Amino acid sequence: MRDRVTAQPEIVYQDDHLLVVHKPPGLPTTSPDASEACLVRWVAAQLPRRTNMHATSRLDGPVSGLVTFALTSLANRHLLDARRAGNYVRTYLGITTRDVSFTERAWTWPISIDPSNRKRRVAGPGKGEREASTRCELAARSDRAALLRLMPATGRTHQLRVHAAKAGVPLFGDDAYGGDRRVVLSGGTVVTARRIMLHCAGVQFPKMTGDGLTEVTALPPEDMAAVWLELGGDPNELRVGR
């Protein structure tokens, strides 16, 4: 069953070369099926004259947050160079219902294809192995859950989900990688995650002209904010950046 799209995308930053769009959960970034709605087709409809438009980042369908688009070939090269230099920074927020015993970790397990399911990935050596690096920080903690701040240095398929699972802190709602779908609080209240509780909350990259950085942030959608509140968290903890 496909995820239900609960909101429309929103353009949150645009200049002559670059575009940043807030993708809602349930909408795939791309799709080989011409009849299926996806973020790339939505952006193309908004900017029909931008024939060189290219998505330079991707989010899994259930994941919400910021996706960057290059509107020119120059911008595409600019972001590629920024990635290689480590100057293209993405900050994600993820909720886990498992115990987090650390304040900061660097995860460097390689990502490989799951031999039992080619659509999934595993942390460790194997077929299609590629190096991967993620920095994880404990952003906040409630009585029943923890909020993780995740910063990938690479962009492998399912990287954050696989790394979090390998570290013993799978994301809430990510049952494909061992995460809980629901938890029962001490008073008997049941909290359910209807999707993976992961959101790209911030992107930062060098300006195309001149010095300085472009920084764009976006709060998680209402569904994730509501889950964090139900788990005893403070919605103000879902902010990143300035």
Length, in residues, of the chain = 242
Annotated catalytic, 211? no
Instruction: Indicate which residue of 15, 60, 143, 234 is catalytic.
Output: 60
Q: Among all residues, which ones are annotated catalytic?
A: 60
